[in-house]
Structure 1
Amino acid sequence: MSAEPLLPSPAIRAAMEQFLAGSPDDPDRRLRLVGKARKVSVSMPEDLTAAVQQRVGRGEFSQYVTEAVARQLELDLLDELAAALEADHGPLPDEALHEARTSWPDA
């Protein structure tokens, strides 16, 4: 029984295409953080909201959270892409992982 390749959902594919369309020289072009906004309500621990407000002030709270969510979405998309690649090509060999770890020891 062969495993079906893991394919990203249409929404994830669209987000990946938008993310990947960004210029490496202009990271702000990835996942546009400007434009029409939609008000949403989220629940967060009081200590966390207080820490954000202390750091950025009330007027910048939404932008701070927007940027954090965009970064998390990028990480989620990369995880999904890595899973799809692993499903198609198998796990990375230990030798490749060792080479990468020695090439970037601080990562």
Structure 2
Amino acid sequence: MPGSTIAEVRSRVGKNQFSRYVTQAVERQLRLDMLGEVVDAYVAEHGPIDEELIRKAEAEWHDAFGE
């Protein structure tokens, strides 16, 4: 990992929380990777996901989580 990245993480979480922060980031990325695999498998079997359904899901996500 680049030294500048290590320094940025440490400046945000402190030296004692570095491993925890990195572990959580890797776990989050693994979940996103697995979700992408599920979507890819769905698309391979059923074809592209309807754009209107994607917009509805994004709107519901935003309403629920404000993201």
Higher helix share: 2
Q: Give the length in aligned residue pairs.
A: 64
Question: Which position in structure 2 is the counterpart of 1:30?
Answer: none
- CA distance in 2 between counterparts of 1:48 and 1:62 reads 13
The 5 Å alignment of 1:33-44 reads 44=1
| Larger RCO, structures 1/2 (Cα 8 Å, 6+ apart) | 1
| Identity between Structure 1 and Structure 2 (%) | 45
Amino acid across the alignment from 1:81 = V
Match of 1:54 among 11, 35, 44: 11
Question: Which position in structure 2 is the counterpart of 1:72?
Answer: 29
- CA distance in 2 between counterparts of 1:67 and 1:77 reads 15
Aligned to 1:92, the other structure's residue is in SS state: coil
Q: Give the C-alpha shift of residue 99 in structure 1.
A: 3.2
Gap regions ≥5 residues in structure 2: none
Q: Give the C-alpha shift of residue 102 in structure 1.
A: 4.6
Amino acid across the alignment from 1:65 = V
Amino acid across the alignment from 2:18 = F
RMSD: 1.8
